[in-house]
């Protein structure tokens, strides 16, 4: 018998979720959609939506040697992180296989946060113990909302928050009696608002009220997944299996197309040595199908030869066709290459499928 | 220089035809008499700071295959789906929505079958019999709804009264028809809405089509009217512009309606006998008027389009036929700035009303300014009756009646359908009966607008079908 | 009465009599059951009721094969012209001769006159090429290839649109549209073609009046039927069919008597036969539901006015069928009001004065006007007895504007109200395009329809009777003898 973990926004989201469609993610229960996932995805691209992102795994890493530990763990140099900023990084196992991908945010000299879509708590905790650093899961203490879309900035402003924030920055605020944290971490050009778990309903109401003039709509998990796919961002566990034991070399960052998250200046991080020997054979590409049927986890063929595999695939209501993230051999990775998948034509295209729309009011 | 194709009209059909042909590597030139592209897909600032699409808020859905082929999403045309039409006072109901959804799927399936047929026949080479007369390549499959009445089909498909009323209002939005007459079910297969809206009004969609055509290499000439189509030995060889410039082209696609094409671009003595007869027998049923309201403040309005029509459709049709504006006026209201904040300043609103069964010509003469003012006041009063306090908030109101549509868009009698939707003017019988896919008895001339067989089936369909016919005739050697 | 017969015919209308005659000729024993006291159906309605005054769709093969011309069938008028009476007393006569008709039309519109000849040529040519299909039990139209395009177009074109394409003069279009019965329905252009495909007295598309009226024609058939041994019972109403599974075994009468037969032919409509006579849903659940929902909503009423003195014909053409209607698009209003159970605002009427064409068509001293009013609601909101009085009043008023002494000499009015039991549906193009087999056969084995409901359009014909008899004969021959 498992507990149904309700996010801090469960009250207001279940009032809005009149179709009563829920999905579990990372143990939490969230609205799958609020009646029309496609409409919500388009609204996120054209106007503004608010989504509950409390399901994202968040840990606080604190201690005197926290920076040293992180420097050893992740593929980028945490010394370059100023307080109030964040960057995306990977952490690898000993042989170069990707164990996790996420955002590292620095609160102050000895305090960091790691935010990721897939949890990896025990391994990091045991590793941290070697450095005398505490790792604390803050997921249950907080809730988070993502406000996404060209009007996100106007909504945040109308709600009484100062929207002046650089991308990958965050700020802790006192917002009419509530302690919140406003950040711009997401890939969709919006804002995230983190608050204490008890304040969930109030925060939701304030945002909803501020958003009425801008056609703000709530968006469920399905809509955000479509957005993620259209942005070309690979998600662990949805698109690829993380290297969960300490020693496997698959998947390598190069296979996942995430080599940009590796800082070559960084002298030492877990798995760096193994990376030297790994050959770069595959690439991450986007695939557009000529039909509306998604084709997840299927082989891509050129002629009769298998040249790659699709990861997750969804129907994109903006492009009005099925799209997929895929991993293909480097020699067929040029945009425009025509492959076949499940009898359908699959065309390679550049990522992201659609650019992040400009923010209105900047 | 000799173009492969000259396209008359840069509405959605003309733009789509240009983009299709240009992407296939052909040289294309598009000629539009207005200073802007898009035809009815445009956004107008009708009052400082307030914008709306004057002629329609939505268009017929663009078929997904055409949308993808022209890469419209990347050129900026992403359509926000809109809620289905409801009657005022009817709340949201997910169950009714499911039933309605199944019916809409059925409609889409039928339309898609017809679209597939017409695209297929466009790709078939042109056939002629031994006398040289055009012959249809394959019979259009019989549409069982051609003989049935709208009320019959709705009664069969939808079980409850409110869904039927909503579906009826949606089919008759901007039109006048008797829902009990046989053949009126075809109105369901010629939708006038359902595409959703692009943000910033429909002008965004037109710009995306334009960008797609230009990116592929199509040339555009705006602000000059085409005065004639040049004929040599009963074949179209090019066009002549109003300033006398002559343009040579192997094929000419006219996206104007049937009457405008043949009455405006030719001298009747140079046309084969079948053409004037068909043109004069072609009927139009213009019935749309539009009201654009700029409001100071936000109305208490449910989300989604709402139909306000307490008279029966048959009564409205009877009034329309006699040249009177029906009372009460059937109308559909849309609070467009609710879904698109770009259309109105913060805290203000834009409301559009589509008035149905408004005749092109009144029984006592043309639309004078007094009659327009009278209709405008009547419409606002009727809206006030359902939305209290509205008239006090109106900052500006613009009424557009069928003669205005005719003048702005160059479509005969302001008929946005491009020809009456009736069994003897649909599918194989629309345009020229024995010529499929927009071909005409004149070699080298193609119909690519609302009067073509594919016209009512979806946005951009007629243009793309004509483009495919041109390509197939070029490879088949029918066009020199 | 009990017993076993080879075939039972329900209804003594023309279709039933013809079917009985053919079956008798094929050597079968036939029992004909008529609910009323007299036979003849629409040709000889029981007073106080009125029926048809003219015939236009008789099957010439019935007349030939039973040698009716030598058995007393003569025609008083062989081609009744169509007339459009004007208010000044004159009338436009459109007769069978296209040149004379064009000449008459030319007085009002030259282009219409020229187009009339071409219109008639196109219509009659198409009618002739489609005749084999409408006269036989053929599976599909046997039209020559050059007619395919025209047929395809007319299948979806309304008679009004078709006529609008030919003529300008509204009066001419309105008059010609009467033949289509529902001129705004899609496909009703084919009704015009079907009318033109008929043949009376050797003349294509003619409208004729037998000597003694249609009643005399019915009498000849009745006499012939009796003489050939058809067992005729009047006053015998059939209450239900006796079925064994889905095969017909016989009928049960109102009196309780049962007659067994493996073959039953019904002159009633499909609806009346399958819904009223057959056990519930024996035709199939979906088919029964469809029949229940498909009641006709418009019908025509026959009104016979009897006068004791010759009417003043200065305002009406005498030897013609005059059509009186305001405008062509009155049909639109008429159809939509009939659908809602309302009487039409304008009356669309066809008037024939049989006694002006042949005094022997009525008893001496009596003068008769036959009026058919189209577009009436079959199931009006108010009941018919009340409405018929008002309808009569309106008809008399309309006619009196043209015949001054009408009301003064009126001695009797008879009504034939829209009869639901003989009609299946409003105009439907699929009915015209279907085959006789499809219209005559029913889901029940051994049950066939042979009345006017089995014709492409409602009309007194006998063609369905002849073909149904053939079908029944084949059915009986294929059965294993008990």
Average pLDDT over residues A130-158: 93
Sign, CA torsion B270/B276/B277/B279: positive
Say how far residue A227 (Cα) sits from the centre of its chain. Answer: 10
The answer to whether C and B touch (≥3 CB pairs < 8 Å) is yes
Same domain, C153 and C202: yes
- Domain residues for the domain of C331 are 298-377+379-417
Chain B residues lying within 8 Å of C164, measured CB to CB? 281
Q: Do A46 and B199 touch (CB under 8 A)?
A: yes
| CA–CA separation, B220 and A321 (whole Å) | 29
In a domain, C243, yes or no: yes
Of the two residues B79 and A275, the one the predictor is more confident about is: B79
Three-state SS letters, A15-53 = HHCCCCCEEEECCEEEECCCCCHHHHHHHHHHCCEEEEC
Which of B345-354, C98-107, C309-318, C396-405 has the lowest average pLDDT?
C309-318
Nearest to B428 among C152, C158, C184 (CB): C152
Q: Determine contact, residues C472/C448, Cβ cutoff 8 Å.
A: yes
Closest CA to A43 of A185, A183, A227: A227
Residue C294's pLDDT is: 81
Same-domain check for residues C100 and C35: no
Binned at pLDDT 50, 70 and 90, residue C482 comes out as: very low
The interface predicted TM-score of the complex, written ipTM, equals 0.89
Instruction: Report the pLDDT value the prediction gives residue A341, as an integer from 0 to 100.
Output: 94
Residues B271 and B346 in one domain: no
Span B104-125, average pLDDT: 91
* A46 chain-B contacts, CB cut-off 8 A: 78, 80, 199
Q: Final residue of a domain: which of B357, B388, B412? A: B412
pLDDT at A281: 85
Q: Does C130 score more than 50 pLDDT?
A: yes
Residue B334 lies in a domain: yes
Residues B254 and B302 placed together within one structural domain of the fold: no
| B143 CA: distance to closest CA in chain A (Å) | 26
Task: Dump pLDDT digits (tens) for C384-412.
Answer: 878 888 899 999 998 888 888 888 888 88
Please give the domain boundaries of chain A with CATH numbers for all domains.
1-278 (3.30.1360.120), 281-349 (2.40.30.110)
Beta-carbon separation of B341 and A151 below 8 A: yes
Q: Are residues B229 and B341 in the same domain?
A: no
- Please tell me which of A9-23, A275-289, C398-412 the model is most confident about, judged by mean pLDDT: A9-23
Q: What pLDDT does residue B101 have?
A: 83
Question: Could you read off the pLDDT of B217-251 as tens digits, one per residue?
Answer: 999 999 999 999 999 988 999 999 999 999 999 99
Helix (H, G, I), strand (E, B) or coil at B238: strand
Residues of A in contact with B94 (CB under 8 A): 18-19, 35
Query: Which band of pLDDT confidence, cut at 50, 70 and 90, is reported for residue B95?
Result: low
Backbone φ/ψ region at B389: left (φ over 0), alpha (ψ -120 to 50), beta:
left
Higher pLDDT, A250 or A207: A207
Q: Is B184 helix (H, G, I), strand (E, B) or coil?
A: helix
Claim to verify: residue B342 and residue B298 sit in the same structural domain = yes
In a domain, B438, yes or no: yes
Tell me which of B61, B68, B105 to substitute to probe the interface with A (most A C-beta atoms closer than 10 Å): B68
B387 and B294, same structural domain?
yes
Long-range contacts of B133-138 (CB under 8 A, 24+ apart): B133/B434, B134/B432, B134/B434, B134/B435, B134/B439, B134/B441, B135/B434, B136/B428, B136/B433, B136/B434, B136/B435, B136/B436, B137/B436, B138/B436
Q: Which of B466-470, C303-307, C388-392 has the highest mean pLDDT?
A: B466-470
Q: Cβ–Cβ of A42/B79 closer than 8 Å?
A: yes
| Inter-chain residue contact C158 with B281, CB threshold 8 Å | no
| Mean pLDDT calculated for residue range C248-271 | 93
Q: Is the pLDDT of residue C143 over 80?
A: no
Asked if the Cβ–Cβ distance from A215 to B68 is below 8 Å, we say no
A chain contacts of residue B342, beta-carbon cutoff 8 Å = 360
Q: Are residues B394 and B424 in the same domain?
A: no
The pLDDT of residue A274:
79
CA distances from A282 to A94, A254, B165 (A): 21, 7, 57
Query: How far is C-alpha C312 from the chain's CA centre?
Result: 29
Same domain flag for C105 and C184: yes
Query: In a mutagenesis test of the A interface, which of B62, B199, B302, B340 is the best target, namely the one with the most A β-carbons within 10 Å?
Result: B199
Residues B291 and B277 in one domain: no
Report yes or no on chains C and A touching (3+ CB pairs under 8 A).
no
B402 and B328 in one domain?
yes
Mean pLDDT of the region C273-279: 91
- C48: CATH: 3.50.50.60
Residue B81 at interface with chain C, using a CB cutoff of 8 Å: no
pLDDT score recorded for residue C381: 79
pLDDT at A266: 74
Per the domain annotation, does B159 fall within a domain? Answer: no
* CATH code (residue B357): 3.90.660.10
The mean pLDDT value for C274-288 works out to 88
Query: How much is the average pLDDT of A16-39?
Result: 92
Tell which wins on pLDDT, A194 or B147: A194
For residue B339, what are the domain limits? 284-412
Chains near B, with 3+ CB pairs < 8 A?
A, C
C354 and C436 housed in the same domain: no
pLDDT score of B266 more than 60: yes
**Chains touching C (3+ CB pairs < 8 Å):** B
Tens digits of per-residue pLDDT, A151-194?
A: 999 999 999 999 999 999 999 999 999 999 999 998 888 999 99
Statement: residue A1 has pLDDT above 70? no
Segment A228-253 mean pLDDT:
83
Domain shared by C24 and C124, yes or no: no
Partners of C348 in beta bridges: C374
Number of domains within chain C:
3
Written as six digits, the tokens of A296 are 């997840």
Distance CA B305, CA B173 (A): 11
Across the interface, whether the CB atoms of B183 and C186 are under 8 A apart is answered yes
Q: Are residues C328 and C468 in the same domain?
A: no
State mean pLDDT over B253-280.
90
Mean pLDDT, residues C167-186 taken together: 92
Looking at the fold, whether B449 and B365 belong to one and the same domain comes out as no
Query: Looking at the predicted structure, is the pLDDT value of residue B280 above 50?
Result: yes
Q: Same domain for B381 and B429?
A: no
CA distance C133 to C128: 10
C-alpha dihedral sign at B41, B46, B50, B55: negative
Residues of A with CB under 8 A from a CB of B: 18-19, 35-36, 38-39, 42-43, 45-47, 151, 213-215, 288, 290, 292, 317-321, 354, 360
Question: Do residue C86 and residue C203 come from a single domain?
Answer: yes
The total number of structural domains that make up chain B: 2
Is C2 part of a structural domain of the chain? no
Flag whether residue B381 sits within 8 Å of chain C, measured between CB atoms.
no
Q: What is the pLDDT of residues B396-433, one digit of tens each?
A: 999 999 999 999 999 999 999 999 999 999 998 998 88
Flag whether pLDDT at C29 surpasses 70: yes
Instruction: Find the chain C residues whose C-beta atoms sit closer than 8 A to any C-beta of B.
Output: 149, 152-153, 156-158, 161, 164-165, 184-187, 329, 332-333, 335-336, 339-340, 428-430
Record: contact A317-B68, CB cut-off 8 A: no
Residues of B in Cβ contact (< 8 Å) with A36 = 81
C288-296 average pLDDT score: 84
Q: Please check whether residues C67 and C89 belong to one and the same domain.
A: no
Q: Is A354 strand, coil or helix?
A: coil
Q: For residue range A40-94, list pLDDT tens digits in order.
A: 999 999 999 999 999 999 999 999 999 999 998 899 999 989 999 999 999 888 8
Percent of chain C residues topping a pLDDT of 90: 53
Tell me: do C95 and C174 sit in the same domain.
yes
**Average pLDDT of span A221-247:** 87
């Amino acid at each position: 018998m498992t507990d149904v973990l309700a996010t801090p926004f469960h009250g207001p989201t279940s009032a809005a979720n009149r179709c009563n469609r829920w999905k579990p993610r990372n143990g939490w229960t969230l609205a799958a959609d609020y009646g029309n996932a496609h409409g919500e995805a388009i609204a996120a691209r054209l106007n503004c939506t608010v989504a509950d992102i409390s399901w994202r795994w968040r840990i606080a890493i604190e201690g005197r040697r926290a920076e040293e530990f992180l420097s050893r763990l992740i593929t980028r140099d945490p010394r370059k992180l100023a307080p109030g900023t964040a960057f995306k990084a990977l952490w690898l196992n000993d042989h170069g296989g990707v164990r996790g991908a996420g955002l590292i945010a620095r609160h102050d000299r000895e305090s960091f946060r790691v935010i990721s879509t897939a949890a990896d708590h025990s391994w990091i905790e045991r590793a941290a113990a070697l450095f005398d650093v505490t790792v604390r899961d803050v997921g249950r203490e907080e809730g988070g909302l993502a406000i996404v879309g060209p009007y996100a900035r106007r909504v945040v402003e109308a709600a009484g928050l100062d929207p002046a924030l650089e991308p990958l920055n965050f700020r802790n605020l006192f917002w009419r009696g509530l302690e919140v944290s406003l950040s711009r971490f997401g890939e969709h050009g919006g804002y995230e608002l983190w608050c204490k778990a008890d304040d969930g309903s109030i925060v939701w109401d304030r945002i909803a009220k501020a958003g009425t003039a801008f056609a703000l709509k709530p968006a469920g998990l399905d809509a955000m997944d479509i957005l993620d796919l259209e942005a070309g961002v690979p998600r662990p566990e949805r698109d690829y299996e993380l290297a969960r034991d300490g020693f496997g070399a698959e998947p390598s960052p190069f296979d996942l197309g995430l080599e940009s998250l590796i800082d070559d200046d960084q002298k030492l991080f877990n798995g760096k040595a193994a990376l030297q020997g790994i050959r770069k054979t595959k690439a991450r590409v986007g695939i557009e199908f000529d039909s509306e049927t998604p084709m997840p986890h299927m082989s891509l063929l050129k002629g009769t030869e298998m040249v790659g595999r699709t990861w997750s695939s969804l129907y994109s209501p903006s492009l009005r066709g099925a799209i997929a993230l895929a991993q293909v051999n480097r020699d067929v990775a040029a945009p425009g290459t025509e492959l076949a998948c499940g009898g359908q034509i699959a065309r390679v295209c550049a990522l992201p499928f659609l650019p992040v729309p400009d923010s209105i009011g900047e | 220089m000799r173009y492969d194709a000259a396209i008359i009209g840069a509405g959605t059909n003309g733009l789509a035809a240009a983009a299709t042909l240009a992407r296939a590597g052909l040289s294309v030139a598009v000629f539009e008499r207005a200073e802007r592209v898009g035809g009815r897909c445009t956004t107008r600032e009708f009052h400082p700071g307030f914008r709306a699409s004057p002629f329609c808020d939505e268009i017929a859905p663009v078929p997904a295959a055409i949308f993808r082929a022209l890469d419209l999403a990347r050129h900026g045309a992403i359509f926000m789906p809109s809620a289905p039409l409801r009657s005022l006072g009817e709340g949201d109901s997910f169950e009714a929505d499911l039933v309605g959804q199944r019916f809409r799927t059925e409609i889409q399936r039928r339309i898609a079958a017809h679209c597939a047929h017409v695209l297929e026949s466009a790709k078939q080479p042109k056939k002629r019999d031994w006398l040289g007369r055009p012959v249809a390549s394959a019979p259009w499959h019989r549409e069982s709804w051609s003989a049935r009445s709208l009320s019959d089909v709705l009664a069969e498909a939808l079980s409850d009264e409110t869904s039927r009323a909503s579906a009826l209002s949606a089919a008759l939005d901007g039109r006048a028809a008797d829902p009990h007459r046989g053949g009126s079910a075809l109105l369901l297969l010629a939708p006038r809405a359902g595409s959703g809206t692009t943000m910033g009004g429909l002008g965004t969609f037109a710009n995306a089509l334009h960008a797609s055509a230009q990116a592929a290499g199509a040339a555009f000439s705006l602000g000059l009217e085409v005065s004639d189509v040049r004929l040599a030995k009963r074949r179209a060889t090019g066009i002549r512009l109003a300033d006398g410039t002559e343009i040579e082209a192997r094929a000419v696609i006219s996206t104007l309606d049937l009457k405008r094409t043949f009455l405006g671009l030719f001298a009747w003595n140079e046309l084969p006998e079948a053409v004037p007869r068909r043109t004069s027998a072609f009927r139009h049923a213009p019935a749309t008027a539009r009201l654009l309201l700029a409001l100071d403040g936000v109305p208490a309005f449910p989300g989604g389009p709402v139909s306000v029509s307490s008279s029966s459709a048959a009564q409205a049709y009877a009034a329309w036929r006699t040249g009177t504006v029906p009372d009460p006026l059937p109308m559909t209201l849309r609070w467009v700035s609710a879904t698109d904040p770009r259309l109105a300043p913060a805290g203000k609103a834009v409301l559009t009303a589509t008035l149905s069964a408004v005749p092109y010509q009144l029984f006592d003469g043309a639309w004078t300014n007094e009659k327009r003012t009278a209709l405008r006041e009547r419409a606002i009063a009727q809206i006030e009756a359902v939305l209290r306090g509205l008239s006090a908030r109106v900052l500006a109101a613009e009424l557009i009646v069928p003669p205005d549509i005719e003048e702005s868009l160059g479509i005969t009698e302001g008929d946005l359908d491009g020809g009456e939707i009736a069994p003897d003017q649909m599918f194989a019988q629309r345009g020229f009966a024995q010529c499929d896919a927009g071909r005409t008895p004149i070699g080298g001339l193609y119909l690519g607008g609302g009067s073509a067989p594919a016209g009512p089936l979806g946005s951009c369909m007629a243009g793309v079908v004509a483009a495919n016919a041109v390509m197939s005739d070029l490879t088949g050697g029918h066009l020199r | 009465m009990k017993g076993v017969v080879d075939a039972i015919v329900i209804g003594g209308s023309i279709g039933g009599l013809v079917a009985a005659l053919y079956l008798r000729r094929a050597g079968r024993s036939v029992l004909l059951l008529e609910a009323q006291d007299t036979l003849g159906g629409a040709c000889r309605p029981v007073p106080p009721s009125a029926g048809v005054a003219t015939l236009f769709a008789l099957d010439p093969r019935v007349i030939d094969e039973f040698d009716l011309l030598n058995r007393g069938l003569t025609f008083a008028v062989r081609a009744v012209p169509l007339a459009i009476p004007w208010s000044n007393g004159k009338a436009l006569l459109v007769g069978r001769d296209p040149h004379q008709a064009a000449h008459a039309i030319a007085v009002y519109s030259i282009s219409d006159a020229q187009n009339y000849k071409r219109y008639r040529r196109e219509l009659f040519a198409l009618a002739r090429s489609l005749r084999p299909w409408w006269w036989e039990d053929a599976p599909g139209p046997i039209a020559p290839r050059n007619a395919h395009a025209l047929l395809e177009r007319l299948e979806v074109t309304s008679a009004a649109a078709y006529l609008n394409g030919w003529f300008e003069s509204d009066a001419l279009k309105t008059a010609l549209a009467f033949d289509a019965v529902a001129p705004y329905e899609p496909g009703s252009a084919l009704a015009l073609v079907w009318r033109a495909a008929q043949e009376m007295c050797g003349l294509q598309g003619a409208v004729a009046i037998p000597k003694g009226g249609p009643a005399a024609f019915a009498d000849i058939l009745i006499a012939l039927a009796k003489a050939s041994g058809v067992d005729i019972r009047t006053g015998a109403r059939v209450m239900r069919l006796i079925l064994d599974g889905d095969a017909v075994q016989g009928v049960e009468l109102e009196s309780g008597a049962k007659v067994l037969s493996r073959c039953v032919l019904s002159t009633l409509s499909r609806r009346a036969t399958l819904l009223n006579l057959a056990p519930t849903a024996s035709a199939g659940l979906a088919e029964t539901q469809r029949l229940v929902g498909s009641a006709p909503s418009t019908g025509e009423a026959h009104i016979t006015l009897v006068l004791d003195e010759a009417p003043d014909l200065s305002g009406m053409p005498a030897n013609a069928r005059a059509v009186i209607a305001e405008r062509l698009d009155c049909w639109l209003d008429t159809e939509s009001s009939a659908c809602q159970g309302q009487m039409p605002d304008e009356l669309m009427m066809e008037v024939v004065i049989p006694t002006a064409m042949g005094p022997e068509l009525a008893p001496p001293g009596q003068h008769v006007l036959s009026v058919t009013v189209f577009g009436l609601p079959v199931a009006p909101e108010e009941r018919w007895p009340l409405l018929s009085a008002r309808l009569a009043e309106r008809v008399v008023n309309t006619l009196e504007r043209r015949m001054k002494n009408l009301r003064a000499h009126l001695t009797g009015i008879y009504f034939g109200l829209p009869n639901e039991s003989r009609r299946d549906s409003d105009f439907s193009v699929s009915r015209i395009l279907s085959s006789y087999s499809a219209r005559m056969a029913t889901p029940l084995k051994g049950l066939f329809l042979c009345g006017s409901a089995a014709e492409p359009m409602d009309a007194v014909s006998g063609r369905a009777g002849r073909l149904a008899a053939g079908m029944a004969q084949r059915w009986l021959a294929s059965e294993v003898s008990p």
